[in-house]
Amino acid sequence: MADSRAARARACDTIRAHGGRLVDLSRRIHAHPELAFEEVRASAWVADFLERAGFVVERGCGDLPTALRARHGRGPLVVTLCAEYDALPGVGHACGHNLIAASSVGAALGLAAVCDDADLTVEVIGTPAEESGGGKIRLLECGLFDAAHLAMMVHPSAVDVLRPCLVAATTFDVHYQGRAAHAGGFPELGINAADAITIAQTAIGLLRQHLKATDRVHGIVTHGGDAVNIVPAHASATYTIRAASLEDLETLRDRVLRCFEAGALASGATLTVTGGDRPYAEVRHDDEIAALYRAHAEALGRTFVDSGPLVDRPLASTDMGNVSRVVPSIHPLIGINAGAATNHQPEFAAACATVDADRAVIDGAMALAATAIDAACTPAIRTRLLARTRPVPA
């Protein structure tokens, strides 16, 4: 087995040597935001970059045109780096997925330089539609993570957090069908679908006092009528619910759906619920691997926040949680000096294309690569990871 210190140094030197190109990749993705399942340019840029670096690249994996897998090495331990690159509607890369993609590519370059010495295989899986659509869940279902023994990524944030509280979530659409009528002349002939949503939202508001502190319910009305003088015959809303675990999420879903059923019962409208069949699971951080990451990130001058809102309360949800339930995983947050801005704000999008964000790309890549090398070269950890026998892709 290789000396981990020498392998880490060689990996980090490789990442630094490609630093300018990694920053350019991050900036290009940031400048051309693409929504879920539409990341045509971003996925192509990632694939091209890795192909030029000598990786074997598969494009359009799992029947998702913007998914990819790139692989290097022949070792039995498979380290998987997840690259996200989808953006948000209206605010672009306000979650910093441009940094995620570039840091995962950078870490892969570093590991590729030491694959033989560390006796590992490194792969990058380009995962579309994290913000909506659950690309990783679809790729799990089609077996793209079957070979992985360890899955890793870093996510930009205002500060560095080792184990952010990332909870389970699901999103679904509700549709009410009523009956149109003249709102002034013959309102008694109508069945008001918009009233059904109002009743449901009132019921949800009353439900909140009985929810767990880790539960969240939030949504928007997507259609509430067509004209003020027509009783709305159709109304729709999209809602997301979150809970500490998939098991808690199922309980919460039943309670929230009863609120929507109440809207239908009271108004006379017919309720249809669609979606929500691929819930995001809570992230299960591998404590041993996370400790390695922390040590290497701190060696780069990073300081972790160990208490406060980003640590002690439900923060957000990600389909990386589904990966973490079947593959040992880490999902730390890496700070980009965003000031008072937080993820999903326009100001955070601007912060994701700055000198501090560029530094996070390189720091994240080096910390991930060093973590993987230590895991591969520490006998107890390596044995634990390899005990999860998974078929290596041909």
**Terminal alpha carbon distance of the chain:** 24
| CA dist., res. 110 & res. 73, Å (int) | 12
Q: Quickly list H helices, the chain.
A: 4-17, 19-31, 40-52, 97-112, 115-118, 135-141, 193-207, 246-267, 287-299, 309-312, 320-324, 346-351, 355-377, 379-386
What does the buried/exposed string (b/e) look like for 251-288 if buried means 16 or more CB atoms within 10 Å of the residue's CB? ebbebbbebbbbbbeebebebeeeebebbbbbbbbbee
Is residue 174 within 8 Å of residue 260, measured between CB atoms?
yes
25 contacts: CB under 8 Å, gap ≥ 6: 45, 46, 49, 98, 101, 102, 105
Question: What pLDDT is recorded for position 389?
Answer: 57
Tracing tokens 């077996």 back to the chain, one arrives at 143
Looking at residue 394, its pLDDT comes to 36
What's the pLDDT at 390?
A: 54
- State the pLDDT at residue 381: 97
Q: What is residue 312's predicted lDDT score, i.e. its pLDDT?
A: 75
What pLDDT, on the 0 to 100 scale, is given for residue 202? 98
Q: What is the mean pLDDT of each run of 10 residues along the chain (394 residues)?
A: 86 98 98 98 98 98 96 98 98 98 98 97 98 96 96 97 96 98 97 98 97 95 97 98 97 98 98 96 97 98 88 87 97 96 96 98 98 97 86 42
